[in-house]
């Protein structure tokens, strides 16, 4: 089977590509340096080169709260256009199945907890990442509309916050787990006794280890063919304050954690109802947060990033 993975050189993409290769597949890995998917001609060229039977669309422009606040227009435009071009080219090329990844940021700011897929449209997303979330949610409409009009087999998955080895540790654009790991390890190495974190630590988040997410995507690609969106997660939440304390324990950081309450908290709570994924295609996450953090910290300590502070 010819498989195209957009964003295949990225964090999640690289883990998914490894998972597909373990199945004996040789996926076509589309990287930004070769195809700018915000440009229709590049998307068309990518499909001509790959000739895919299965498309897994992971390519996205993403970041933490700071990056979302700095790039609302870009994140809205880039994610909307990339997804629209992929869905349209899948239609034009008669692709047998297209897997589109959404985002937990698409849920309403005050969605009932745990987040159920049926609540996706019951409110506006949290403001700091709403442009990104709205753009990705529009791709669900596109996938369902193309299914209705053209008979296209497109499915839509909603992964929760991901983490793991090879994550983005750039403090300007990283998400919370790699940012905390880097800040604490850097502080240790510099002999600093204090780190400053955004907000007050009260929001809760759910985290999915990247290899578990790759497994969920592969199971859905094989087994799931319905129009309904599906959450991918663990169904477990932790406060940012508790997360910081856990990462401090695992990294050995014993300095002070200062909360800058002039900075935004983001969405108050995030916890998914993961029933549908287990019922529809048998997915259940297997990596505990502690185990996944230990592996992520070990990877960062052994990588050139830790040595260079990059």
For the chain, what percent of residues have pLDDT higher than 70? 98
Q: What is the structure's pLDDT at 306?
A: 63
Task: Check residue 42 and give its pLDDT.
Answer: 98
Q: What mean pLDDT is reported for the chain?
A: 95
Confidence band of 216 (pLDDT split at 50, 70, 90): very high
Domain 3-163+207-232 classification at class level: alpha beta
Angle at CA of residue 292, ends 287 and 9, nearest 5°: 100
Q: What is the pLDDT of residues 241-299, one digit of tens each?
A: 999 999 999 999 999 999 999 998 888 889 999 999 999 999 999 999 999 999 999 99
Nearest to 60 by CA among 137, 148, 2: 137
* CA separation for the pair 184, 252 (Å, rounded): 8
pLDDT per position as a tens digit, 133-187? 999 999 999 999 999 999 999 999 999 999 999 999 998 888 899 999 999 999 9
Give the residue numbers annotated as catalytic, written as ranges.
Answer: 132
Q: pLDDT tens for residues 39-49?
A: 999 999 999 99
> Which fold is adopted by the domain 176-204+237-269+288-308?
UDP-galactose 4-epimerase; domain 1 (3.90.25)
Q: Is pLDDT at 10 greater than 80 in this prediction?
A: yes
Tell me what pLDDT residue 309 has: 53
Q: What is the pTM assigned to this prediction?
A: 0.93
Q: DSSP E strands: which ranges in the chain? A: 3-6, 28-30, 54-57, 97-101, 154-159, 161-163, 194-198, 204-205, 207-209, 230-232, 238-239, 256-260
Domain range list for the chain: 3-163+207-232, 176-204+237-269+288-308
């Amino acid at each position: 089977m010819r498989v195209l993975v957009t964003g295949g050189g990225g964090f999640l993409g690289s883990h998914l590509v490894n998972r597909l290769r373990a199945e004996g597949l040789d996926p076509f890995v589309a990287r930004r340096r070769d195809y700018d998917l915000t440009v229709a001609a590049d998307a068309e060229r990518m499909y001509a080169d790959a000739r895919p039977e299965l498309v897994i669309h992971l390519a996205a422009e993403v970041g933490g709260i700071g990056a979302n606040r700095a790039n609302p227009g870009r994140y809205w435009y880039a994610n909307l256009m990339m997804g629209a071009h992929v869905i349209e080219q899948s239609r034009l090329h008669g692709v047998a199945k297209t897997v589109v990844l959404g985002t937990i940021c698409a849920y309403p700011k005050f969605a009932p907890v745990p987040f159920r897929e049926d609540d996706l449209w019951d409110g506006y997303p949290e403001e700091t990442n709403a442009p990104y979330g709205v753009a990705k949610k529009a791709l669900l409409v596109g996938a369902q509309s193309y299914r209705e009009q053209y008979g296209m087999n497109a499915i839509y998955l909603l992964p929760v916050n991901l983490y793991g080895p090879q994550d983005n540790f750039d403090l300007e654009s990283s998400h919370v787990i790699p940012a905390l790991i880097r800040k604490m390890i850097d502080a240790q190495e510099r002999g600093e006794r204090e780190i400053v974190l955004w907000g007050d630590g009260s929001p809760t988040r759910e985290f999915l280890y990247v290899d578990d997410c790759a497994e969920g995507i592969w199971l859905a690609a094989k087994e799931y063919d319905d129009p309904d969106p599906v959450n991918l997660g663990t169904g477990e939440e932790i406060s940012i304050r508790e997360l910081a304390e856990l990462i401090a324990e695992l990294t050995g950081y014993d300095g002070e954690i200062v909360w800058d309450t002039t900075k935004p908290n983001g969405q108050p709570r995030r916890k998914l109802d993961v029933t549908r994924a287990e019922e529809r295609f048998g997915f259940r996450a297997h990596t505990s947060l502690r185990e996944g953090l230990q592996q992520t910290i070990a990877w960062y300590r052994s990588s050139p990033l830790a040595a260079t502070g990059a």
